[in-house]
Amino acid sequence: MTMYYAGTMAVSQKITVNVPADVLAEARRITGKGITATIVDGLRELQRASKRSALSRLRGKVRFELDLENTRR
C-alpha cells in the first residue's frame, strides 16, 4: 500500500493500535484531522523531538563561527 503525504510518496504499513479514546479524541481535536493523519502527525513530531534533543546535547560541544558580512555577498 502506498500513501501520499505532503506531496511525497511514502511506503506505509497498516497497523492495529489500541489507543485510549480520550487521548485520540483530544489529538484529533488539536490537529483537526482524521485518525490516520493525526497518528502520522504525532509520529513525525516524535521524530522532530528526538532530533531537537540530539541537537541540544551538542550545545557547547560544537564551535560555530559565521561571518555575516562575508555570507551576504
Read off the C-alpha cell for 50: 528526538
pLDDT at 70: 84
**Domain around 38:** 19-71
- With respect to residue 9, please indicate whether it lies within any of the assigned structural domains: no
The verdict on pTM exceeding 0.75 is no
With CA atoms as reference, report the closest residue to 36 among 5, 70, 64, 57. 5
- With respect to residue 41, please indicate whether it lies within any of the assigned structural domains: yes
With CA atoms as reference, report the closest residue to 26 among 42, 48, 13. 42
- With respect to residue 10, please indicate whether it lies within any of the assigned structural domains: no
Percent of the chain with pLDDT over 70: 86
Count of structural domains within the chain: 1
4 confidence band (pLDDT: 50, 70, 90): low
- With respect to residue 56, please indicate whether it lies within any of the assigned structural domains: yes
